[in-house]
Amino acid sequence: MPFDNLKPILIEIALAAGLAIEKCVKQGYNTFSKADSSMLTDADMAANDIIVSRLKTLFPNAVIISEESEEYCGAGLVSGDWFLIDPLDGTRGFTKGSKEYTVNIAFIRNSAPVAGVVFAPALGELYYGDIESGATFAKVENDKITDEKPIVAQSQSQPARLLVSLHHLDPQTQYFVAKFECPKVTQMNSSIKLCKIAAGDGDIYPRFGPTSQWDTAAGQAVLEAAGGKVLQFNGEILRYGNTDRNGNLMLNPNFVACGAFVPEFLPFSVDE
């Protein structure tokens, strides 16, 4: 599929999902606990239903994997084309009133996230990127795109601007941050961190500890389209489609997202 055809489709679906989430915010929503003790809300499911149903209608033969409707289990995802979705990334912060939650839709080809959209409905910010046309940022006002412009990841600033997870400032992350001289550190929720680096508003996002493949795929697509990178700490690019013995997507390894440069501390180990 040509990416110029995919862009308006992914953006339109993300906007519709974001509208459903905002409707839940206004009308109220229920909160549940999933089997793994993570949080789930009516807003997650409303966004998920819109994204999955529309993709199935448009691409009836496509493999579609979402955090909230894992209908596919099996090998074979490291090659071929498929969609990977997180309908509401940052659910914990969402329930606490944070506005940094996002809708994430990624298109994966041969284990690489080659196109993706990240929409932060409460912030009115939408990021899109693919390997052919590059990355863009747009404001969203009254459910319509305004002021769309290209974005490009930047070289590392001095002092370095580090973005870290609001809920995961663990000792490993603190050890990594301490490698930099007087860094500017900002704590944020969700995949918006990857997009901020893509837009030149941050330099490095280190992540230690478990993340799911759907947490990062769309943001990585945007960041790589803007000229940035998402690397494992051994220096290899973060890839998608690896499954466990039950056919479920494996968790991501530790990684670092960065602008148009490779951090000087790679390869990196907290045991060094």
Domain boundaries along the sequence of the chain? 3-150, 161-258
Can you give the pTM of this predicted structure?
A: 0.95
Q: Which pLDDT band holds residue 36 (cuts at 50, 70, 90)?
A: confident
In the chain, what are the helix, strand and coil shares in percent, each to the nearest 5? Answer: 25, 30, 40
Could you give the CA distance from residue 181 to residue 247 in angstroms, rounded to a whole number?
43
> pLDDT band for position 33 (50/70/90)?
confident
What CATH number labels 3-150?
3.30.540.10
Amino acid (one-letter) located at 243: T
**Average pLDDT of the residues in 243-258:** 90
Residue 263 has pLDDT above 90, yes or no: no
| Mean of pLDDT over the chain | 92
Check pLDDT > 60 for residue 272.
Answer: no
Residue-level pLDDT at 13:
98
pLDDT single digits (tens) 47-86 = 999 999 999 999 998 899 999 986 556 667 888 899 999 9
- For the structural domain made of 161-258, what CATH number should be given? 3.40.190.80
CB neighbour class for 26 (10 Å; exposed up to 12, middle 13-18, buried from 19): exposed
With CA atoms as reference, report the closest residue to 24 among 44, 9, 52.
44
pLDDT tens across 110-137, in order?
999 999 999 999 999 999 999 999 999 9
Q: Confirm if 161 and 204 have CB atoms less than 8 A apart.
A: yes
Residues shown for the chain: 272
Span 162-185, average pLDDT = 88
pLDDT per position as a tens digit, 201-223: 999 999 998 899 999 999 999 99
Query: Is residue 34 scored above 90 in pLDDT?
Result: no
Residue 171 corresponds to which amino acid? P
